[in-house]
Structure 1
């Protein structure tokens, strides 16, 4: 056998070398040229039949990947009109977010979608967008802060058991915020997520491991926070009696690690679809079943687990400092993609700033630095792809907030609600957000409210101009 014969069969690039390697093995096994050529033709015709193993498995895998990429390029033509989708709280949503969702719904891989009442403009899929795709994942459909999530710990203490000064001291000592920030090495805690084999299974993850290890147990910038407050249960639930409890609420993600994964695989996806319409460039996708698609899926899920680990360590530190164990915890991710049954199909559901809300599933929907957040229980609404809002949602961009809001007005808002703020910028002021009560009122068919969390002492990263 030689390269010319293999090339004549139609093999290209890497497949030629793999076909020759397999043919050499078959020659050594005593097969003649024509028999080997017939086997190679069979692999070409149905590579999936050879994937489970054997001498042609590597060739079959390469052919499968090549065809998926070719299909993706051919399938990059957008639909002429968006698929229909439901919108909750349409009166609260800016036109730009609707336009972004419309673009998402003309992708050839899109099958269903929904827009939550906290929706606003993002990169690619709007924040508050939910998108179901077939056999593909969109890095910017998940977002840059992969695995961004919430966690609540309810403590066996009354709210007045912790004074403001002590709460402030604990947050300053046991939390860290900001880009590139981590605990000093002697104070850094370990977590099982750092010992996963996954970190060693692709070069990108190996490269990012040290950064992730240095920043474990910390929070990012922007709207990330850790806060002490009062959890109010009007009736028994969550395994607790009705009443008021001291609680910890945090909002954090996968730090710089997740952002680099998102940016790396977005570039890969865009290179795979060079002719994709400019309006949809940020929504370039990776076919699952290919090396790149499975690589992103693996890295995305690792980033999701890493983000939850950050929360676990934050809450562990604070509970240990108070010498208590939480009575219960609630957590959820709201920047991730899930395999989910939608109607009669298994699809990839992207939630970019949306809370999973399957029937009976608990979740957390925060307000702002000075407004209440809520524990909710999902109703599993199929039109929303079993989703709900992930917060109040911005009604004013960061620059607009910094340029138009007065520091004294924000300070008055905090003081009237009895909130002590550590860090935090004008760009994160409560006035920059929609009213959480308006957002909740527009999704009563998506979730039931279980409990209310009222913030008291809040820590965030410093902003463009501190409050």
Structure 2
């Protein structure tokens, strides 16, 4: 297969390999990537996924392999954010004619959104966490206490109250149909408030370290923590914990959704344990690439080693894909985490109306109000173009179209 990426040369540092052929690729993202590529500890090159768009410090949709340091902003603040999907034993013929009841049942079972400025009456948090959350938190809490003892600010906010909750923004829960009209449950969320605190705290700490040692950077958000230092160790410990929190968060929500659907009275008995997938797309991992053990940060990218199953969602009105990795070494065995935004949330709110959003999500049981216009399908890149651009990174196993979508 001929090469499907562009090589962006840089004046200083490593090159950039961008799987962005045929998709929008904004100048702001390219400028950020050039900044990353100029850092002295980048391994081989920077890989760019087709859903790439400008982020804070580092580009969303970038894969950065480093030797001897980690850049907290290249991991992001929604630590461990990712996807989970499970195929059920239901088919389209088992679904009721009107799907609103299923959406309401899911919304009642999973706290979502954010109110009260995140205070005690926040509808997106548990006031009294259920037993499953308490048991899961019991497994997470000892390690969290170790982190908080060293960095108390990380502990100031919700923790167990967000375990098993959806959040806001682009996080969602969907019911989808595959190419054989089988019903899937798919959801997207991460480590919620506690992961955000950890990410934000260590980004700020890394900036302090750069100032303390008079390190000049092309962008202060690219502040890094050198391997072997105490802050590096603490950050890696905290990120690992947040990734575990995020995976448990998705597992708990999946169980809540299954219970809600079974209790809705609108579906026959079903199983939901088939072909389950649970994968991160904001994380850091130690891996071996091109003869070296390195740290690979994927900010808006999934691991796609040969045979790895992953999930690449579209938007509220577009298809999603269960994929299998092709193990392309040039992308550091990675692929995109979704369609990727083509405009900011504010721009989407300015440009589109509720009527536009309703038309774009016709046939999907979902919110069609002003508060979700920033997530309307036209705010994202065309998912088919994104999949075409990464045809040498993954192969499509299932194509999903959503029929119910719950947004925070």
Classify the TM-score, shorter chain: 0.7 to 0.9
Aligned-partner SS, 2:62:
strand
Q: Deviations over 1:67-124 (max 9, x none)?
A: xxxxxxxxxxxx9613112111144211111111110011112113200111000011
**Equivalent position of 1:383 in the other structure:** 330
Cα contact 1:194–1:213 (8 A) shared by 2: no
Is contact 1:159-1:229 (8 Å) kept? no
Match of 1:176 among 94, 111, 121: 111
Q: Does 1:117 align with 2:60?
A: no
1:258 correspondence with 2:195: yes
Matched, 1:192 2:130: no
Secondary structure of 2:240's aligned partner? helix
Conserved 8 A contact 2:176-2:185: yes
**How far apart are residue 231 of structure 1 and its match?**
2.4
Which structure would you say has the larger Rg?
1
Residue number in structure 1 paired with 2:388:
441
Hey, what does 1:392 align to over in structure 2? 339
- Indicate the residue corresponding to 1:156 in structure 2: 89
Whole-Å Cα distance in 2 between the matches of residues 321 and 421 of structure 1? Answer: 17
Q: Residue 139 of structure 1: CA displacement? A: 0.9
Correspondence for 1:89: 20
1:170 shift after superposition: 1.6
Structure 1 Cα separation of the partners of residues 108 and 316 of structure 2: 20
Equivalent residue for 2:146, pick from 184, 201, 216: 201
- Counterpart Cα distance in 1 of 2:42 and 2:219: 12
**2:317 alignment partner, SS class:** coil
Hey, which of these two has a bigger chunk of helix by percent? 1
CA contact (8 A) 1:366 1:373 kept: yes
| SS of residue matched to 1:305 | helix
Q: Give the drift of 1:210.
A: 6.6
**Cα pair 2:129 2:160 within 8 Å, conserved:** no
Structure 2: gaps (5+ residues): 1-9, 119-123, 263-269
Q: Are residue 419 (structure 1) and residue 351 (structure 2) matched?
A: no
Matched, 1:249 2:182: no
Match for residue 268 of structure 1?
A: 205
- Alpha-carbon distance in structure 1 between the residues aligned to 2:218 and 2:64: 17
Report the number of matched residues. Answer: 371
How big is the shift at 1:208?
A: 2.4
CA drift of 1:364 comes to 0.2
Q: In the TM superposition, what is the alpha-carbon distance from 1:273 to its structure 2 partner?
A: 1.0
How many Å apart are 1:413 and its aligned residue? 1.5
What are the ranges of 5 or more consecutive residues in structure 1 without an aligned counterpart?
Answer: 1-78, 233-242, 462-467
In 2, Cα distance between the equivalents of 1:328 and 1:95?
39
Is residue 219 from structure 1 mapped to residue 154 from structure 2 by the alignment? no
Match of 2:271 in 1: 325
CA RMSD between the two structures? 1.9
Please give the TM-score of this superposition, normalised by the length of structure 1. Answer: 0.76
Higher relative contact order (CA 8 A, sep 6+): 2
What does 1:41-60 align with in structure 2 at a 5 Å threshold?
none
Of 401-410 and 322-331, more deviation after overlay is shown by 322-331
Question: What CA distance in whole angstroms lies between the structure 2 residues aligned with 1:116 and 1:351?
Answer: 10
Aligned counterpart, 2:238: 299
Compute the displacement of 1:176 (Å): 1.6
